Amino acid sequence: MRRETQHAVLFLLGGALVRIAADETFLRYVRPAQRWWLIGAGVVMIGLAVVATVRDVRGRTVPGADGHDHRTGPSPWLLVLPVLVVALVAPPALGADAVARQPTTAPADLAAPALPPGPAELGIGEAVARSIDGTLGDGRDLTVTGFLAHRDGDVVVARLTISCCAADARPHTVRLRGPGLQGAAALPVDTWVRVRGTVVAQAAKDNRWSPDLEVAELTVVAPPDDPYEL
C-alpha cells in the first residue's frame, strides 16, 4: 500500500467515526457517554492523515531512493473494511438473535425505593431486578417496552443492558403469556412493542430471572434511538 493510500485510509477511518457519532448510529454499538471519545478519536485520525499528507507533499522523495523497499503487504487493506461496513451496511443493534444465544443473567442489586401501589411502567432490567427481590409485587399492573424474541419456545419481550459496548451486552426478558399473547406470536422477532399486563407471582426464579406477564394490551411502537438499557 502506497503512503498516499495509507493516509487516505486513515482519513476515511476518522471520518467514519465522526459520522456514526454525529448521526446517532454509534448508539447501536456503545453507550451514549462514548460519543465524545469517538468524535475525538476521529478528529485526531483525520488530523494525522492531513498532516502526514502535507508533510509528504512538501518533502516528496523518490520511492526507494534510500535503497530500501518500503512496500507493505496486503494487511493494511483490512482497515478499509470497517469503513465499508459503516458506509454500506450499517449493522443494526443486537436483538433477538443475541437473546436466543446468551443465557439470561440476574441484574445487579437494585438500589431504588419501593414502588408505590398501583400500575407501574418500568424498564425491563428494573422489572426483572424487582421481581427477584420481591418489590415488584404479585398481580401488579405493569407496562414494559422492548423487542420481541423467542427463548426456549416462549415469546418474550427483551432489552439488552450494556456496560461499555455491545460486546458486553446482557439480555433481560419478560415472558409473555395469556390470551393476549396471540398478537405477539403473530409478529416477527425484533418488533418493538409496548406491553401492559399483570405480573405473575414467583415467575422470576422459575423462568431464569424472567418474570411472566399476563398480557392485557400490546402495541407496536417505533424503535428508540438508544436500543440498550443502561
Tens of pLDDT, residue by residue over 135-157, are: 888 889 999 999 999 887 889 99
Q: What is the pTM of this model?
A: 0.73
**What letter does residue 89 receive in the DSSP assignment?**
I
144: β partners? 195
- Whether 173 and 157 have beta carbons less than 8 Å apart is answered as yes
Q: What is the mean pLDDT of residues 19-30?
A: 80
Name the band, by pLDDT with cuts 50, 70 and 90, for residue 216: very high
Kindly provide the residue ranges of all beta strands, DSSP E only, lying in 40-117, ordered along the sequence: none
Tell me which CATH code domain 96-229 carries: 2.40.50.140
Domain ranges (residues) in the chain: 3-89, 96-229
